[in-house]
């Protein structure tokens, strides 16, 4: 965003997080869609009693668009509870990012092993086209991977 632009934010009562309900949560964010996930990430990572693991797939147009990168990198270095994959559509040989667009290979790599998928929740937030491609239609990435509708929450 540019200075002076407006961002509308809504509370995420659609997903009231409770510790240890899911063994794993996969977050798929496009751009400013990271906003509702920041609190969830901080809460889980900073709660030693919460055994939930988190994977974040965070898509942006450029490396400079990645919000909170230093915080996410620091949380990832704390241990194995949090992993982040940055996906950048306009990246050329950038260290630490995947170049291109979010696809089934990237999401599958971020998920835990398949034997744990039934205990995994997938949250998706971003622009409408991004959310639809990841979790919306019958041909969405998550549906093609076999993720059940009840496991997916679009914010």
For the chain, what are the domain ranges? 24-154
Q: Burial code of 34-49, b = ≥16 C-beta within 10 A, e = fewer?
A: bbbbbebbeebbeeee
The confidence score (pLDDT) of residue 78 equals 86
- What CATH number belongs to 24-154? 3.40.50.80
* pTM attached to this predicted model: 0.89
- pLDDT tens for each residue of 92-119: 767 889 999 999 999 999 999 998 898 8
Average pLDDT over residues 127-150: 93
- pLDDT tens for each residue of 6-22: 877 766 556 788 999 99
CB 23 within 8 A of CB 51: yes
Average pLDDT over residues 134-144: 92
Cα 108–chain centre separation:
12
Mean pLDDT of the chain, nearest integer = 91
């Amino acid at each position: 965003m540019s200075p002076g632009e407006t961002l509308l934010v809504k509370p995420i009562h659609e997903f009231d997080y409770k510790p240890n309900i899911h063994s794993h949560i996969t977050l798929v964010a496009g751009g400013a869609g990271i906003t509702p996930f920041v609190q969830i990430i901080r809460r889980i990572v900073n709660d030693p009693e919460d055994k939930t693991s988190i994977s974040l797939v965070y898509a942006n147009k450029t490396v400079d668009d990645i919000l909170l990168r230093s915080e996410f990198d620091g949380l990832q270095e704390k241990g194995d509870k949090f992993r982040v994959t940055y996906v950048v559509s306009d990246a050329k040989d950038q260290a630490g990012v995947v170049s291109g667009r979010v696809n089934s290979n990237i999401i599958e790599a971020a998920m835990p092993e398949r034997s744990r998928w039934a205990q995994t929740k997938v949250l998706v937030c971003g622009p409408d086209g991004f959310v639809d491609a990841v979790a919306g239609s019958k041909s969405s990435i998550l549906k093609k991977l076999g993720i059940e509708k009840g496991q997916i929450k679009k914010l």
